[in-house]
Amino acid sequence: MGQNKLERFAELNEFDNVFQPAFDDTFRKDWVLKGKWHKEIFKNDNPIVLELGCGKGEYTVGLGKRYPDKNFIGIDIKGNRMWVGAKEALENDMNNIRFLRTRIEIIESFFAENEISEIWITFPDPQLKRGKKRLTSARFLNAYKTFLRKDGVVHLKTDNRELHDFTNEIAKLNNLSVVAKETDLYNSDIDSDILAIKTYYEQQYLNQGLPITYIQFGLNNNELINPPFDKEEK
Ligand X SMILES: C[S@@+](CC[C@H](N)C(=O)[O-])C[C@H]1O[C@@H](n2cnc3c(N)ncnc32)[C@H](O)[C@@H]1O
Please list the active-site residues: 125
CB of 201 to ligand X, least distance (A): 3
The DSSP code sequence of the chain is: --HHHHHHHHHHHH-TTEE---GGGTTTS--TTTT-IIIIII-S---EEEEET-TTTHHHHHHHHH-TTSEEEEEES-HHHHHHHHHHHHHTT-TTEEEEES-GGGGGGT--TT-EEEEEEES----SS-GGGSTTSHHHHHHHHTTEEEEEEEEEEES-HHHHHHHHHHHHHTT--EEEEESSGGGSS---TTTT---HHHHHHHHTTPPPEEEEEE---SSPPPPPTTS---
> Of the candidates 78, 130, 172, 234, which one interacts with ligand X according to CB under 6 A?
78
Stretch of 4-12, 28-36, 70-78, 214-222 lying at the interface with ligand X (CB under 6 A)? 70-78
**What are the residues facing 120 on neighbouring strands?**
51, 155
Q: How far is the CB of 20 from ligand X (least distance, A)?
A: 12
Among 60, 71, 96, 122, binds ligand X (CB under 6 A): 122
Cα angle value 110/111/115 (rounded, 5°): 160
201 near ligand X, judged by CB under 6 A: yes
**Which of 12, 61, 64, 76: binder of ligand X (CB under 6 A)?**
76
| 5 lines the binding site for ligand X (CB under 6 A) | no
**Residue whose CB is less far from ligand X, 100 or 148:** 100
Q: Is 79 in the site for ligand X (CB under 6 A)?
A: no
Stretch near ligand X under the rule CB under 6 A, chosen from 1-9, 77-85, 137-145, 177-185: 77-85
For ligand X, the binding residues in 130-159 under the rule CB under 6 A are none
Residue 97 CA, chain-centre distance (Å), reads: 13
Q: Does 104 contact ligand X by CB under 6 A? A: yes
Q: Site map for ligand X, 10-39, x if CB under 6 A?
A: ------------------------------
214 interacts with ligand X by CB under 6 A: no
Site for ligand X, rule CB under 6 A: 53-55, 76-78, 81, 103-105, 122-125, 199-202
